[in-house]
Every structure is written in C-alpha cells, then in structure tokens.
Structure 1
C-alpha cells in the first residue's frame, strides 16, 4: 500500500488529482440521477435513458482517468495513441450502458449488484485500454497483487453503488451511489497506477505523432465539463419534470380513485393498472389483478367477446367474476389511447348489478302476485296462450281450472286482512303441492286462483286433479293461534273439446266454478254449455239490480205484526220488493242473494233503512217498524252511523225502530258484535234476533247480548199442530224468553190450527199469512179496518186456548 501512497503523493500533481476527483464526483452524480430516471421510466423509453446513462457514466469515468493520467508526473515523455484512446472511451460507454441495463431491466434477484459489477468491469477495461494508449520510451512493470486489488475494489464499489442507487429514497440513493462510484473509479486508477512502474529504455525512441498532453487535457476537460453539464442539467430538468409528472399522476390517480366507476388499463391483454373502485367491485387486491389477463374475469364466452371488442363510447353489458361471491353485471366502455407513453386499452366499468336486479324485480312484479309469488293474470294469460299453441301443434289437450275459497270474505271480516293474506299464502302452497310439475298455477285476484294443466289425457284427469286441489286446500290449517277450516270450489274446462279461444275458455272455467259454488261449495264441476245462458242471465240480473238500486226502482212492502192478547197491531216488518219491467216481480230470495254476493247489499240495505224510517214516521205512534239487517251490513258497514242518520233524516222516534239480525253475525266475532249492538241500544232502537232456533243458535246469546225480542223461525211453526217435539221446543223457548223479559214474535203462522197449537200465549206477537200478506205502502192506512175481523177471531182463539177448525187466510 506504500507504493500506492507514494504514487499518489509524489508521482501525481495533487491539484490535477483534485480536479479529476471533482469531475468524477460531478459525473458520478449525473450518472446516478440518470440511472434512477431510467429505472422509473416506462419500458418503452428505458433504452434511450439507459444509453444516456451509459454515455454519461463512461464519459465521466474516461475523463476522470485521463485527467488523472495528465496529473501523473512520469520520468519519461508520454503521449497517447488516438485509436486506443477512442476505443477506451467507447468501451467505457458500452460496458456501462450494458451494466445499467442489466441492473434495471433484469428480473433476477441480484440484478442491481451484478449490473453494478459489470459497470466496474467496464471501468477496469477502460483504464487498462487507456494505459495501452500510452506512447513512451520505457518498459512497463506491474505488481500483480495491486492490479487484482484495484479490479476487485472497482467491481465491489460499483456493485454497491448500483445497489444503493436502486433504493427508494432519492437523496440517500443519489449521494450514496455517487460516493461509492467515485470510490470505485479512484481506487481502480490510483491502485493500478501504483502497481505500474516505468523503466526508461534508451533503445526505444521517444514517441511521435501521438496526442499531445495539453491537447488531450483540453479535450478531456471540455468533454467532461460538457457531459457533466448536460447530465446534471438533464437530471435537474428531469427531476423537476418528474415531480410535475408525479403530481399530475397523483392528481389523475386521485381523480380515478374518486370516480364511482372502475377503471382498468390493459396492455397486450393484461391488466397494467387499475383504480381502487375496480378492485372493490371485484373484491380483489391490486396485486391480484396487475399482470392478470383481463379475459380471466369474463364469466362466459359472450363476456369474453365483449371484452375483446374495440369499443368507443358504446356501452356494452357483460358479467365479471368476483372473489367469493356471485358474478357482477357491469356496463363496460373501452377506448384505445396513450397511457404512460404506450398505446393501451382503457376500460371503464359501472356496476349495474343493483339496476339489473331492480329491473328483474320490476319485471317479476309485473308478472307475479306480490303476496303469493304466483304468476298474476297477465303472466297467466301469456302462459295460457303459449300452452294452447303448443297443444295445438302437438295435438294434445289442456285442462283449464279456476278455484276460489268459500266464504273467504268472512275470514277477512272477522280476523282481519293480515290473517286473510296469510291464509292465501298457505292456500297457494297447498295448491302447488297438489299439482304435477308441468302445471302452471296463478293468482288472478283476491281468493281466485287458476291452473293450466297441459298434456291431459281426458276430462276425467283434469277433474281428478281439481278434486285433489280442493281436498288439499280443505284440510284444517293453523295460522298462528287460529285454527281455520276452509274449503274451495273449482271449475274445469278443456281445450280443444270445450273451445279454442283463451278468453272463451277462461269464461267457461269461471262458469263451471260458479256452478260448483251453486251446488253447495267445496265442489268441482266441469263446464256445461247450459251454464253459458244461465250465467248470461245472472250477469244481466246483476246489472239491472244495480240500476234499480241506483234509480230508486225498489219498493217496500210491510208485513203486519199483531199482539195475540188483544189483537192490536204492534207494527210492521219492512220487506224489499223489485218489479222489473222485463221480468216482472223478481223473487226476493233471488235478487237479495245476488246483492249479497256482489256487495250491492250494502247500498240496498241503507236504502231500505232510510225508506222504512221515512214512511213509518207517518204511522200511529204506537206502531214500530222492523228492518232486517244483512250480515254484510253488520260486519262491513258502519251500521250505528247508518241507523243514526236514517233516524235523523226521517225524524222517527228511535223507540219505534227495531233492528233485526240473524244469529250468524254473532258467531264470528262476539266482541265486535256486542260493541255494535250496544251502540244501537245507545241510540234507543230495539234489537231482535231473527230466525231464532236455526243455524248456530245458542241460548247464551240471550244472556250475553242486549236483545229485546226473538223471532221464532217459521220452520218450527209450519205443521206445529202435528209435531209434538216442535211444540215442546217452541213453548220452552217462549217460557225462557218470558223469564228473561224478552218479547217473542212467532213467524210464518198460516193456519188457525198452528195458532191453536201454541196454547194460551196472550203476550205473543204473531206475524204470518194467517194475519195478512205483506202490504204495499198505500194499504197500511186501511189495514186497521180491513183486519179487524181476523184479529178479533185470533184473539178469541187465544183466549179460549182450544184449537178451531182449519182455516186459511
């Protein structure tokens, strides 16, 4: 090492050595700056930056070498060969460029130190090629140990410089890399110069024609200054531009991250970059996506085709795979544009899965019942037309069935619509359980269901399936704490036996259903052509009844009620009548039933109540008018308000009005019934149970509800004189009512023998054809005189308490 120290301090001009060191440091700093820029550049522009880095590095090393050579004070004259000098410069540039290229572009684990070592080898090669360029009349002797040490140190320092230069922090990598590179150049030059000794050889002439030291010094100085200036300027400008690019890139990435759309940059079919929203959409990390072929995200070949298209502002829909969840539907746009200096395909993805689900939901709701999930009328009609078309082509039969629940309206009225809805859901499930897989079931409206059964062999097969549905629906079921027993009716028609038009078939199935309900419900009937005419007449009757109610074409008749003890007239029961211009007198049993089934009974009942009160106000004050209220009025209408309004409008004393109800309205909801009855009692009107003894009669009603009167049904009175059991029941009922201080009306007495069979009952009120048939309004005023004889005879019979010969009114 002493030889190296001696060479540096004695054989070199330390001033020029300092200049060489400064040039080496400046050129090293420029080289490190350009190397870092080359590392950060995209791969398309990296070769240009690597060549520039090699040029700056090689020129700086070469300049440092030759300035140091000029600082060497040799005992013999020295000149330099032009060719060798140029080769040494080219060698330094090429090897340095190759070393930096390997360090930056290689994907091996130790690319940086290996590339740096290659640069160190270039420094050594350049140095010894420069020595080869020396022209002198001396013999070169070398210390092999120092030569090896110089080369090893140059390679190690250069490898370390490359490793540090590839670091993430800017200043430490620049300063550290520069110092290490300078150490490699300086250690190589001065150790190798210390290993060299020149021994004068007088047999060799002094060199001629070589480059003069002064010229070489000027050339080298200018060259190094120029390269360093360009390198440093380039590094400074690029640093400034790099910061601007980084700021712009950060701004653009912030914008990309802020958008609600996913963005992906694709090059050569692989994803190069993407924003965070795209990663969120796929539930994948950026590391999972970068470098992955975008086609791997496609779900099926159609989606691959969409991602391969060169689209331009034309949105297309496809599906993409996600991690650990179902694929998402996206609206994708693609555009080819420059990104980081390379042509790339920029994809934008908008997640439309929620919109697609919403559209599917809307479509489903448009074709399905929201409560049961079954197809609705629109979807059912489409399915029916499709099945009929298929059956026509295949020469097969289709059964069309209509079902509805019996007395479903009562469930809604008594237990509420929530219970009714739960019942419909349960019925739809039972309906599906009873049907084969190829059947199509739908809910048309309310409690009306329909079924299409394709490929039916015969009408009997369709009827058997319908019976199975009715039986399945009719099984007892529980809804919460309620235990319900429901039943259903069904109608069946066949394609093409009964018809081919969908509308006609649906009408025929409806007619068959109507026939089933008319036969006692819980039945299944098939279509009969005669039903068409019957149904048409019913529809016309419904329409005409609605017009009759609207145009006030109904009338009231009044059936008298007489006290048997003294034969005085107690009052009249109002009975509605309808005389149609085309049909004549329509039986009350016929049109009242239609009114109840169609809901017209509410409006008709209010009319009866208003009219009866208005006409009764002109009667003598001791006579009452009885108005029968239908179950529908009692359950649905505001009965208390209707009665109060009728009394107010007519001016009738409430005590002269008697409201008659049937026992059936008390069964379903006793609490509600009691509330209504008490409301009527508060108005001051009388209350009577009509048709007592039929249906669901319970003596407990007489105790639980505030009734003033009971009416014994005519079914107990007809033929009473010949029915000992009926006499016992009637007399017991009368005795019970008397003990409870409840008045009794006996309905349907048509013969004196029936009256006589009642025995001595002076406090009874009689109503029946024996006394009189119902009277029109105009006959009421003369009824006292016209009925005087029959009333006297009835009173005499009761007083004698013995049967008379049979007479009729």
Structure 2
C-alpha cells in the first residue's frame, strides 16, 4: 500500500484477519503493517540495473534483445525491415593493457556517447559487454541509409580520444543483419549479425559487413558441429572441470562449481559457449545435462562432507518435467544427500513458462537441492521471484566484482544485492575474484562465498581430489 506522509511517500505491507463478533457479525480487521519502503527502493534500483549497463548507462544485453524483439515484431507487421548491428572495438585490449582499466573505461564511455550521437532517433544503442556494442535500427527500409550510418560510426569511433591528456586511438568492426529478411527470430537475427561481424574481423577490421548467402557456410559448419555433438555423447568426449568455492570468513574450501568441457578429436577443446547453444537448439541438452548431473553426484560421493558441487542448468533444461526425477535418481544412485548438490540458473529461466519453471524449482528444493540465481543483476529482472522461497543463494557477476575497485557505484550495487539477499535469508557468492583486494572488498561487503582465479582456476577431477584430500588430512591432523 502506498501512503503519502510528511516525510514523503512510504510503502507499507499489511496483513490481517477479519474480526467476527459472537453473533457472527463482521466488525473489521485486526493485523499488522510493515514499512517496506527501503526494500522497495532497493528492488527499484535493481530492476533498473537489470536493464542498464552500469558503465555506459546504455541498455544492456538483455534489454537489447527485448528492443530487437519489439523492432522485429513491428517489422513483420508493418512490412518495414529493421536491422541489428553488432560492433566490436578494434585495438581496445592494448588500451587496457597499456593505460589501465580506468582509462579503458573512460574510452568505452566516450565510444558510447559517440554512438548515441550518430544513431540519434533512428535506433537504440546498447552495450553487450566488454568492448562490444549493438545498435537496433527500427526503420531499415533504406539499406543505403543503414550502410551510411555504419560508415559514419566507423569514422566517428576512429577519431582520437583525449583521456587525461593522453591520446588514444581505436577502431570498430561492424556486422549487420536485416529482419525479418535475414532472420525471423531474435536468436536467428543475432546469429546472422554475428556471422557478419566475424567476416568484418577477417576482412581486416575497421569495416562493416552484411549477412549474405555466402555466410551460410558458417551455418553448415554448425550442422557438422551438431552431428559431432551427437557422437560425442556416445563416445564420452566430455569431462568436468572443478573450480574451487571458498568461505569468505575462513578461506577454507567448501565446494566446487563443475564446468563441462568437450575435447573434440579433431578440433580440440571446444568451449561451452560454442556447443551449448547448439545442444539446446538440437534437443541434445537433456542427454548432456543428465550426464553432468550424474558425474557431479559421482564426484560428490567420493568427497567428504561438507564439500558441495554446483552445476549449471540451462533454461531449456529447467522446463523439462523429468529434471527433478533425474536429479533424485542420481542422488539415490550415489547415496548423496540433496544439500550437497547445487543447481545454478540464470534470470533467463523466467522468460518462458514461469509457472512451470517455479514448479520445477520447488520440486528440486523439496529434494534438499540448493538453487542459486547466477549472474544476478546482469539480465532480466526477476526480483519478484525471490520471495517464492525457491532460491537459497545469489551469485554476483564477476563484472561487478572486478570494477568495484574503481567504480564506487558498483560497491553500492553489491551492497544492495547483499542487503536484498539477507532480507530473504539467502547466501551470496561473488564470482570473478582475482586479487586479494577483490577478496577483502567482497568479504567486508558481507559476501559469504568466494569464487575466482585468486583461489583457483578450474581443475581436473584428479587435481580437485588432491585438494580435497589435502584439506581432509589437515582437518584430521588438527
């Protein structure tokens, strides 16, 4: 309930029961009210954060997808094409390496400003992360106009930047696709723009390329990857790597996050961001996910308590009705208690059938399994789901952690996340902790668990096992 007071607007949560006299007449209500204004303000800040990139102030990756979806729907209905441009800065990494991250951040902010000035009212500029930007052009009927915009952007970005009296020069490569001509869905259009961007990079950078039939050969490669992926399951070409999780208070090992790897017999190591989307699109995620769950439980069974293992569950998996049974069977098979397994999901799981998703998460929690909300605050806003008694942990994305040392607003964001988590009795894990300063800052902010290269890179099972056994021997000796 919203109340206007002398101190301004306040928000109050009210709960009560009806009062019935001895004659059965209704006399009113008796209840209690709680001032939830600060919680609501925190939620509003995080909702804003969920759609905005902190560094540039531009729409973030999740919001860009939403904007592209809206433009694509309008293009389909109005028969006026839209376009998506993916931009990747050329020569930006040496800027960070040579001048440091503060100057690198200043360059990114300057690039964002120039892009907004060039695009104007013709579209929306967003930051996808790192040195990658995107532009959604709502009216791309004139291909020549889009090409002229791309050329103007390339010239603008190439102009020198004066940062603290230091002249810095970079460039930009652009990949573009038109909807619904090149792709009828957001994912398809993004894929086509990505292919065009790769071509721009290969062409020497500093140019704009547009999706064409010639790029379809890239799609043919994806088909071959899918075939190899099907064979990989039967050939047991997957393995898990284990990244340590440590207590912020004691710095003791408390568990691992298990990360899948694919060692292709011809291509070598293929990273998850390459093959997981293919697995999801081709319906192979169920089989791969079942293997990961089984292997994780096998590892847990070989280690003493309280060592836990966390695994990632994709949005495609979470809507599978068989997932809770799959997890239950694996726990029973290896005689592992549910509280030693943790499933990590991202905010994207709430984009589909939310009721089915919540039902699945509740069935998993009933097994004692922990549910962590990964990369909290970087994607879609799911704050409303935090009070569903489903999640037991929030994970702060590494980008917030790494930039907290130079950006006070990131510290404020992390404080808000920790405060929100504690109000829902959840633990907080900080990812991407790479320095002692990062660790001390996260610990002092109230984070419970630390993950990052400071305490260990992903390890093979044998190396992780050595770490666990060494710790176990120390405990027994103590």
State the TM-score bracket (shorter-chain normalisation). Answer: 0.5 to 0.7
Aligned in 2, Cα 1:672/1:592: closer, same or farther, shift over 3 Å? same
Q: Deviations over 1:355-403 (max 9, x none)?
A: xxxxxxxxxxxxxxxxxxxxxxxxxxxxxxxxxxxxxxxxxxxxxxxxx
Q: Deviations over 1:450-500 (max 9, x none)?
A: xxxxxxxxxxxxx95999xxxxxxxxxxxxxxxxxxx964339xxxxxxxx
Q: CA deviation at 1:688?
A: 1.0
Q: Is the 8 Å Cα contact of residues 579 and 585 (structure 1) preserved in structure 2?
A: yes
Greater fraction helix = 1
Q: Deviations over 1:143-163 (max 9, x none)?
A: xxxxxxxxxxxxxxxxxxxxx
Distance across 2 between alignment mates of 1:759 and 1:656: 23
Q: Deviations over 1:630-683 (max 9, x none)?
A: 000112352211111221222211111111111121243332222112111111
Q: CA deviation at 1:750?
A: 1.1
Secondary structure at 1:658 match in 2: strand
Q: Deviations over 1:704-737 (max 9, x none)?
A: 2421111111121123211100011112211332
Distance across 2 between alignment mates of 1:647 and 1:784: 20
Secondary structure at 2:405 match in 1: helix
Q: Which residue of structure 2 lines up, in the alignment, with residue 518 of structure 1?
A: 192
Q: Which residue of structure 2 lines up, in the alignment, with residue 619 of structure 1?
A: 303
List aligned pairs for 1:365-380, cutoff 5 A. none
Q: Which residue of structure 2 lines up, in the alignment, with residue 46 of structure 1?
A: none
Aligned in 2, Cα 1:722/1:641: closer, same or farther, shift over 3 Å? same
Aligned in 2, Cα 1:580/1:668: closer, same or farther, shift over 3 Å? closer
Q: Which residue of structure 2 lines up, in the alignment, with residue 734 of structure 1?
A: 418
Q: Which residue of structure 1 lines up, in the alignment, with residue 288 of structure 2?
A: 604
The reply to whether residue 755 of structure 1 matches residue 439 of structure 2 is: yes
The reply to whether residue 713 of structure 1 matches residue 397 of structure 2 is: yes
Q: Which residue of structure 2 lines up, in the alignment, with residue 587 of structure 1?
A: 271
Q: Deviations over 1:295-323 (max 9, x none)?
A: xxxxxxxxxxxxxxxxxxxxxxxxxxxxx
The reply to whether residue 564 of structure 1 matches residue 211 of structure 2 is: no
Q: Which residue of structure 1 lines up, in the alignment, with residue 18 of structure 2?
A: none
Q: Is the 8 Å Cα contact of residues 564 and 761 (structure 1) preserved in structure 2?
A: no
Secondary structure at 2:442 match in 1: coil
Secondary structure at 2:438 match in 1: helix
Distance across 2 between alignment mates of 1:491 and 1:555: 36
Distance across 1 between alignment mates of 2:142 and 2:333: 56
Structure-1-length-normalised TM-score? 0.34
Q: Which residue of structure 2 lines up, in the alignment, with residue 490 of structure 1?
A: 181
Q: CA deviation at 1:525?
A: 5.8
Q: Which residue of structure 1 lines up, in the alignment, with residue 379 of structure 2?
A: 695
Aligned in 2, Cα 1:569/1:551: closer, same or farther, shift over 3 Å? same
Structure number with greater CO (CA < 8 Å, separation at least 6) is 2
Gapped runs of 5+ residues in structure 2?
1-64, 81-139, 145-177, 198-208, 473-478
Q: Which residue of structure 1 lines up, in the alignment, with residue 164 of structure 2?
A: none
Match of 1:646 among 330, 336, 351: 330
Distance across 2 between alignment mates of 1:516 and 1:728: 33
Distance across 1 between alignment mates of 2:439 and 2:447: 13
Aligned in 2, Cα 1:539/1:787: closer, same or farther, shift over 3 Å? farther
Secondary structure at 1:729 match in 2: helix
Q: Which residue of structure 2 lines up, in the alignment, with residue 682 of structure 1?
A: 366
Q: Is the 8 Å Cα contact of residues 418 and 446 (structure 2) preserved in structure 1?
A: no
The reply to whether residue 659 of structure 1 matches residue 350 of structure 2 is: no
Secondary structure at 1:782 match in 2: helix
Aligned in 2, Cα 1:682/1:593: closer, same or farther, shift over 3 Å? same
Aligned in 2, Cα 1:705/1:525: closer, same or farther, shift over 3 Å? farther
Q: CA deviation at 1:599?
A: 2.0
Q: Which residue of structure 1 lines up, in the alignment, with residue 212 of structure 2?
A: 527
Distance across 2 between alignment mates of 1:614 and 1:786: 19
Distance across 2 between alignment mates of 1:673 and 1:561: 27
Structure-2-length-normalised TM-score? 0.56
Secondary structure at 2:182 match in 1: strand
Q: CA deviation at 1:703?
A: 1.4
Structure with larger Rg:
1
Q: Is the 8 Å Cα contact of residues 350 and 382 (structure 2) preserved in structure 1?
A: no
List aligned pairs for 1:316-465, cutoff 5 A. 434=79
Q: Which residue of structure 2 lines up, in the alignment, with residue 552 of structure 1?
A: 236
Q: CA deviation at 1:575?
A: 0.5
Aligned in 2, Cα 1:568/1:515: closer, same or farther, shift over 3 Å? same
Distance across 2 between alignment mates of 1:721 and 1:585: 34
Kindly report the root-mean-square deviation, in angstroms, between the aligned alpha carbons of the 2 structures.
3.6
Q: Deviations over 1:523-569 (max 9, x none)?
A: 9965242542x233222222111110122210011111000111221
Q: Deviations over 1:113-158 (max 9, x none)?
A: xxxxxxxxxxxxxxxxxxxxxxxxxxxxxxxxxxxxxxxxxxxxxx
Q: CA deviation at 1:778?
A: 0.8
Q: Is the 8 Å Cα contact of residues 576 and 588 (structure 1) preserved in structure 2?
A: yes
Q: CA deviation at 1:771?
A: 0.6
Q: Is the 8 Å Cα contact of residues 614 and 650 (structure 1) preserved in structure 2?
A: yes
Q: Deviations over 1:73-93 (max 9, x none)?
A: xxxxxxxxxxxxxxxxxxxxx
Distance across 2 between alignment mates of 1:682 and 1:666: 20
Q: Deviations over 1:23-73 (max 9, x none)?
A: xxxxxxxxxxxxxxxxxxxxxxxxxxxxxxxxxxxxxxxxxxxxxxxxxxx
Secondary structure at 1:718 match in 2: helix
Aligned in 2, Cα 1:686/1:699: closer, same or farther, shift over 3 Å? same
Secondary structure at 1:578 match in 2: strand
Gapped runs of 5+ residues in structure 1?
1-406, 412-426, 436-462, 468-486, 493-509, 789-809
Q: CA deviation at 1:763?
A: 5.8
Aligned in 2, Cα 1:489/1:741: closer, same or farther, shift over 3 Å? same
Q: Deviations over 1:745-780 (max 9, x none)?
A: 111111122223325257610011111001111112
Q: Is the 8 Å Cα contact of residues 660 and 690 (structure 1) preserved in structure 2?
A: yes
The reply to whether residue 543 of structure 1 matches residue 217 of structure 2 is: no
Distance across 1 between alignment mates of 2:291 and 2:143: 41
Aligned in 2, Cα 1:601/1:488: closer, same or farther, shift over 3 Å? farther
Aligned in 2, Cα 1:489/1:647: closer, same or farther, shift over 3 Å? farther
Secondary structure at 2:181 match in 1: strand
Q: Which residue of structure 1 lines up, in the alignment, with residue 103 of structure 2?
A: none
